[in-house]
Amino acid sequence: MKRLTSLLVVLLLMTSFAYSQMSKTGLNQDAKYAEQVDSVLALMTLEEKIGQLNQLSGDGEVTGPISLNNESQEAIRKGHVGSMLNINSSSYTRKIQKIAVEETRLGIPLIFGYDVIHGYKTIFPVPLGESASWDLEAIEKSARVAAVEATAAGQHWTFAPMVDIARDPRWGRIMEGAGEDPYLGSEVAKARVRGFQGADLEKKNTMVACAKHFVAYGAARAGRDYNTVDMSKRKLHEVYLPPFEAAVEAGVGTFMTSFNELNGVPVTGSKKHVKGILRDDWNYDGLIVSDWGSVMEQVVHGSAKDLKEAADYAMNATVDMDMEGHAYLPHMKELVEEGKVTEEQIDAAVRRILHKKFELGLFDNPYRYSDEELEKEVTLTDEHRQLSRDVARKSMVLLKNDNNILPMNAEVKKVAIIGPLADAKREMIGTWSAQGEAKHVVTLLEGVKNALPDAEINYVKACEVEDSDKSGFDKAMQAAKEADFVIAAVGEKAMMSGEALSRMDIGLPGVQEDLVLELAELDKPMAVVLFNGRPLVLTEVDKAAPAILESWLPGTEAGNAIADVLLGKYNPSGKLTATFPYSVGQVPIFYAHKHTGRPRTEARYTSKYIDGPNEPLYPFGYGLSYTDFDYRDLSLSNAELTTDGTLKVSVQVKNAGDMEGEEVVQFYVRDLEASVTRPVKELKGFKKIALKPGEKKTVEFTLTPEDLAFYNRDWEWTTEPGTVKVFVGGDSQNTLEAEFDLKE
């Protein structure tokens, strides 16, 4: 065994370093590693190659002796494992890596994957919250911090970003993405890939990203996780695919296929979608991993007769790695012998896996990421906490602020903090909180106390998030009556959004709405602070409460960030990236809908509900500030746009209030005369600007015909002549409008 390992080392040293300028990641495998990869491949038996395609889950144990079960350890020793997920900490990853390196015939290192979704130890807001910052730099930095902490703890590969478009707030995983819009979703996808992977994957503090879940997972019918998806080709290409394509453009290192079936075929086994779109149309040559058991689940879906057929479909769809599916390992050899899968296909998959290991430098030093000293040094640093606090406050959305009740006066003497989420550490970091720990969290109660050391703070929990017991209400009302300002901290628990956490009723759970309504009756200055991982139905809360701040699940620095916003140390600038419905019966509801042949009017036979509005409670792009922004002078550089031309769209934005603030200026279009129906508005650009009181800025957007292209009736990607409307404003409903002619 030692001899073979030495042989491998010699071969590696002998290989030449043919540098190429190609992307280091997904789009084109870097030719630099091709010979090295081939030199390893040449030494491998078919069984060892198949072993590389297998990914097993560990036990998540952080420290102590190896607790991985014997079966998994034995599988590693036999060369039956190419990757592990859920192995945590530098010391533990080192121990497990040692088995692969020292006890297998070829000593090929493992690649460790983990769900580092919104932070590793320092937890940032849930991704839906982060996206509401519309601040791509902040989003990138958050992913960077996550990668710095995770890589020092031995992780090489994160299963993020989730770039699934989600238009149904019942779906629990809406929390994990960037909301409903493909343009914004694409920008956020790129920012997060850049953040995780950095400029150079060879660096020790960068990790491989994974665009997931390919594809249409977010369109689960009725918002129920893992449910089936039936979708038109147009919707798939216009709405659900763009963020994945953007991830490829950003050089994402890996992709994950989804659990769902799409039009009758589970995507993990769909050659048409995985090979056809990802590999053939987009030239993506990176590693594709299945979702947990999604190779095997084809059998449960009823579209593969057994594990062997499931493995056959997935491999022929070019899924390289079987995550906890236990289908490739036992059946791939037989499939090769039967000619259903060729050895060239296996080699291609193994190449992609080895390539990542080379890129990460694991063949040079398999333990280079498992650095205990570094892990201590870079984890949960003050700088990381500060960044988390900053991203958290940038993510918050001010939904209502009657009579400028917020910001609170810093001289306030008595504050009542009421509600089950005011002092609930664990709930602040969400379900996918990696190694985040409740003990490090600053709650709203603590944050307000830090910010107002001289005020009398009276905290009453009042009720639980979920049950129906109102016996704590009296005490809460008493505290509120005596206070100068009331803060109600309500919403969802962490375990109410995320995987397998779909809800039918997306109102405030339990008796929390009653709590807010009763508090509001006291007519005190009051702000409702919401904690949740999805859009909620807040219609009654909106009617009653004078101020509402959406804080999402804000992460480790939750309370400090909220206090910054409540007290005006930070002027809120977040805007919703997913529509908040007026009623759950409107779901799915999103701004970029079609017009219909009978758009709503008062007339009887038009497209509407008879018991409520078509409009949501809060639209996409909506969010208030403590100042006012005044939009004027929308102008176009030309009345026409020709096929090879560009059009400049500009608007003047003025801070008309008396507080400095940031505004997300949003730019939408509508094609009025296409041969196929087009959405009533489509986001085509945005800019986040900062303005001092009284300051004005001209904001400019550039439009090219390509930005207006779509699939026509004959499924050709094209533009068509006709009138196009442009809209610019501070949300998707309140906009200035102009028109131009798109020429042939």
The token pair that represents 375 in the structure block: 């892990």
Query: In whole angstroms, how close is the CB of 159 to ligand BGC at the nearest point?
Result: 3
CA-based nearest residue to 673, from 740, 574, 608: 740
The DSSP output letter for 562 is: H
Give dist(CA 657, CA 636) in Å, integer. 27
Give dist(CA 156, CA 110) in Å, integer. 10
Query: In whole angstroms, how close is the CB of 718 to ligand BGC at the nearest point?
Result: 36
* Closest residue to bound ligand BGC by CB: 159
| Contact between residue 604 and residue 610 where contact means Cβ atoms under 8 Å apart | no
Give dist(CA 124, CA 553) in Å, integer. 9
Q: Which is nearer to ligand BGC, 433 or 719 (CB)?
A: 433
The token pair that represents 245 in the structure block: 């394509």
Q: Which is nearer to ligand BGC, 437 or 499 (CB)?
A: 499
Query: In whole angstroms, how close is the CB of 434 to ligand BGC at the nearest point?
Result: 11
Q: Name the phi and psi angles at 261, rounded to 5.
A: -85, 150
Query: In whole angstroms, how close is the CB of 279 to ligand BGC at the nearest point?
Result: 21
Q: Name the phi and psi angles at 60, rounded to 5.
A: 75, -5
Q: Which residues bind ligand BGC (CB under 6 A)?
A: 85, 115, 159, 212, 291-292, 499
Contacts of 668 (CB under 8 A, 6+ apart): 681, 682, 683, 684, 726, 727, 728, 732, 735
List 30, 115, 285, 291, catalytic entry? 291
The DSSP output letter for 293 is: T
Query: In whole angstroms, how close is the CB of 189 to ligand BGC at the nearest point?
Result: 15
Query: In whole angstroms, how close is the CB of 215 to ligand BGC at the nearest point?
Result: 13
Instruction: Report the 10 Å Cβ neighbour count for 653.
Output: 23
Q: Name the phi and psi angles at 292, rounded to 5.
A: -55, 110
Residue 83 backbone class (left: φ over 0; alpha: ψ -120 to 50; beta: rest): beta
Give dist(CA 720, CA 178) in Å, integer. 30
Tokens 């090979």 correspond to 275
Give dist(CA 258, CA 124) in Å, integer. 25
Give dist(CA 555, CA 145) in Å, integer. 13
Give dist(CA 61, CA 68) in Å, integer. 8
How far CA 263 is from CA of 240, 502, 538, in Å, comes to 14, 22, 34
Tokens 């992460």 correspond to 555
Beta bridge partner(s), residue 652: 632, 698
How far CA 579 is from CA of 179, 590, 595, in Å, comes to 9, 6, 17
Query: In whole angstroms, how close is the CB of 225 to ligand BGC at the nearest point?
Result: 9
H or E stretch at 92: helix 90-103
78 by Cβ neighbours in 10 Å (0-12 / 13-18 / 19+) ranks as middle
Q: Name the phi and psi angles at 509, rounded to 5.
A: -70, 160
The token pair that represents 174 in the structure block: 């809406």
The token pair that represents 484 in the structure block: 């100068």
Q: Which is nearer to ligand BGC, 28 or 86 (CB)?
A: 86
Whether 714 sits among the annotated catalytic residues: the reply is no
Query: In whole angstroms, how close is the CB of 115 to ligand BGC at the nearest point?
Result: 5
Q: Which is nearer to ligand BGC, 214 or 727 (CB)?
A: 214
Give dist(CA 218, CA 97) in Å, integer. 35
Q: Which is nearer to ligand BGC, 292 or 620 (CB)?
A: 292
Give dist(CA 204, CA 729) in Å, integer. 43
Give dist(CA 695, CA 715) in Å, integer. 47
In 3-state terms, what secondary structure has residue 35? helix
Query: In whole angstroms, how close is the CB of 141 to ligand BGC at the nearest point?
Result: 22
Q: Which is nearer to ligand BGC, 428 or 501 (CB)?
A: 501
Q: Which is nearer to ligand BGC, 301 or 681 (CB)?
A: 301
Give dist(CA 58, CA 65) in Å, integer. 13
Q: Measured over all CA atoms, what is the biggest interatomic distance in the chain, rounded to whole angstroms?
A: 84
Query: In whole angstroms, how close is the CB of 177 to ligand BGC at the nearest point?
Result: 11
Query: In whole angstroms, how close is the CB of 137 to ligand BGC at the nearest point?
Result: 26
Supply the residues annotated as catalytic: 291
